[in-house]
Structure 1
Amino acid sequence: MKDNRSFFEKLTGSMRMDDGPETSLPESKSNGKAKSATGEAWFDEEGSEGELTVDVYQTPSEIVIKSMVAGVKPEDLDISITRDMVVIKGKRETERFVKDEDYFHQELYWGSFSRTIMLPAEVEVEEADAVEKHGLLLIRLPKIDKNKQTRLRVKG
């Protein structure tokens, strides 16, 4: 039988969708976990880290970062700031009262998360402020005033 695959298909081991055998996935109850047709997890949830979603915007005097951190205790948040970058890390703990097989949908993220944000302008690290209220984390980062001047006395 002649192999009609292209050089690229032979090289990568891929095949055209219309060339391969038709398969269908078995119907199964979705419990919100990514599974293959064989029922195996597509990725290892242990050790994986979620990425925190953020809104970042600026005003004339500051850069503001907002993120939903509902269910995270303030002491479980770690925020590191440099003049041009912010790193937010944390962990959302869950109490396991429900067995995995009893879930119909499981979409909430539990575990470690982090996010690194490159800032569009340099900020005053010492004047930064972070507040969490009703699950919303608000970080205010005052911009460096590049026009600020001061006079120095020359010592003799």
Structure 2
Amino acid sequence: MPMSIMVSLKKEKKTDAGEMLLFPEAIEPEKSPDWMFADNEEGQLAVDVFETDREIVLKSAIAGVSSDDLDVFLHNDMLTVRGIRRHVSEDCARYMVRECHWGPFSRSVILPKEIEEDRISAVLKDGVLTVRMPKTDRSRRIEISEI
């Protein structure tokens, strides 16, 4: 068992009913570790990248982000998705559980093959970003001449 898990298990707390709580911050959020509320840090976007015979496709669930708050760009062989998930704060709210990342996020992936840069398309539909990158076939057979 990793040490970090062992340490967190030692911090269990009993409720009035005698039950053990693994996450006492759910009851007392003001005692939560600072890292749980680090909105100023950039989050990392989860992505799926796969290839078909003709293209490389990146998909990512980006719920709550408008296309105006999202950038997709290619530099050499690296595709980067960057954006910001804006948080609408609730006045006088006391969080019981806070797991969503609000604020800036990004993810860069190195592409395994050359692609046709001028034919890349990106679509945001129902909170899912899909980037399609057609592959290019720059390899060619070279004639060998006999002397």
TM-score by length of 1: 0.68
- 2:68 is paired with a residue of what secondary structure? helix
**What stretches of structure 1 move > 6 A for 4+ residues in a row?**
none
**Structure 1, unaligned stretches of length 5 or more?**
1-16, 18-23, 150-156
Q: Is 1:71–1:92's contact at 8 Å kept on the other side of the alignment?
A: yes
What residue number does 1:152 align with?
Answer: none
What residue number does 1:119 align with?
Answer: 111
Identity of aligned residues (%): 36
Q: Is 2:39–2:103's contact at 8 Å kept on the other side of the alignment?
A: no
**Partner amino acid, structure 1, of 2:81:** I
* Cα distance in structure 1, aligned partners of 2:92 and 2:11: 25
Pair 1:39–1:106, CA change in 2 (3 A):
closer
In the TM superposition, what is the alpha-carbon distance from 1:146 to its structure 2 partner?
Answer: 1.7
Correspondence for 1:81 among 58, 74, 91: 74
* Cα distance in structure 2, aligned partners of 1:111 and 1:42: 14
What residue number does 2:45 align with?
Answer: 52
- 2:123 is paired with a residue of what secondary structure? strand
Q: Is 1:57–1:63's contact at 8 Å kept on the other side of the alignment?
A: yes
Pair 1:147–1:25, CA change in 2 (3 A):
closer
**Structure 2, unaligned stretches of length 5 or more?**
4-9, 14-23, 142-147
Matched, 1:25 2:21: no
Larger radius of gyration: 1
Higher strand share: 2
Higher helix share: 2
